[in-house]
A = this chain, B = another copy of it.
Amino acid sequence: MGLKNSYPLAKKSIDNPHTIVEVNGIKIGGKDLAIIAGPCAVESEEQLFTIGAFLAEKGIKILRGGAYKPRTSPYSFQGLKEDGLKLLKSVAQKHDMAIITEVMDLSLLDTVYPYTDILQIGARNMKNYHFLKELGKTDKPILLKRGMDATLEEWLLAAEYILMGGNKQVILCERGIRTFDHTTRNTMDIAAIPLIKHLSHLPIIADPSQATGNRDIVNSMALAAIAAGADGLMIEVHNNPEAALSDGPQSLRFDQFSDLLNKLKLMGTLNGKEIPDFQLKTQFN
């Protein structure tokens, strides 16, 4: 915790207490409780339009969805690639949503850039320093997932690589680390949230879907993350999780996601963060 000097640009200071990254009217890192939702992977027009319509009705303003998917096995579904990006764009435009999707490799940046509002750096790329440097030269917000083997200092140093390039709109995302216990897919390190708030001015959100791999506990962990001070959540939602081509077991059903929103509303007053008004109007009618 005394290592702040190793990342002068990412560290919290009196002059730089907290960065706010604004995306589609949501102030991430400010008073808004940011909620990003969508399927793990874009699978088809029907799937994405169904999920998009549901989320829009709930007031969600940032749509997630993987078009290029990093999969452990080369024999697993690898994503719809540029067709997936086009579907994201169609759904987002229809419902006035912003898009977040992963840039899996630097060579794909030019393809992905025009379609997305937030450039996602996946956990597997958090230590690809050349990639981080190059993304630091872009002008769109970047969501930097924590590597599954990364310490907090390594994570903040990865952010430092981006900040050095000039891009100041970095959002951190805790998504679980790898430990000996495989009861959950990863071990969600909730303590990283208040620690990052002590160490850095960057906003931090949490991804309980990836962190747990188990929809039965996603909502409990989402609430825990917010109780611990997270600025927002990234949640996987699917219209038919059992048939999902990627990570079905961790995707919420629609009713589970609605339940989460209701609980988050109650939680709001606790940590001083609230789901923005313009969302609430839709969500809770």
Determine chain A's interface SS by DSSP, over half rule. helix
Is A285 engaged at the interface, CB distance under 8 Å to the other chain?
no
By a CB distance below 8 angstroms, the chain B residues around A190 are 188, 190, 221, 224
Encoded as 1 (CB less than 8 Å from any B CB) or 0, chain A from 261 to 277 comes to 00100110111000000
CA distance A147 to B70 in the complex (A): 15
Contact in complex: A124, B130 (CB < 8 Å)? no
Known: A148-B149, A223-B228. A191 touches B179 (CB 8 A): no
CA distance A73 to B152 in the complex (A): 13
A2 smallest CB distance to B (angstroms): 11
By a CB distance below 8 angstroms, the chain B residues around A224 are 190, 224-225, 227-228
By a CB distance below 8 angstroms, the chain B residues around A149 are 147-149, 178, 180
Is A71 engaged at the interface, CB distance under 8 Å to the other chain?
yes
Which of A31-39, A49-57, A212-220, A251-259 has 4 or more CB atoms under 8 Å from chain B?
A: A212-220
Known contacts A188-B189, A227-B227; 11 additional CB pairs below 8 A are: A74-B157, A74-B160, A105-B131, A106-B106, A124-B127, A149-B178, A151-B180, A183-B192, A184-B195, A220-B228, A223-B227
A: residues with CB less than 8 A from B are 1, 6, 68, 70-75, 78, 104-108, 124-125, 127-131, 133-134, 147-154, 157, 160-161, 164, 177-184, 187-195, 198, 211-212, 214, 216-217, 220-221, 223-229, 263, 266-267, 269-271
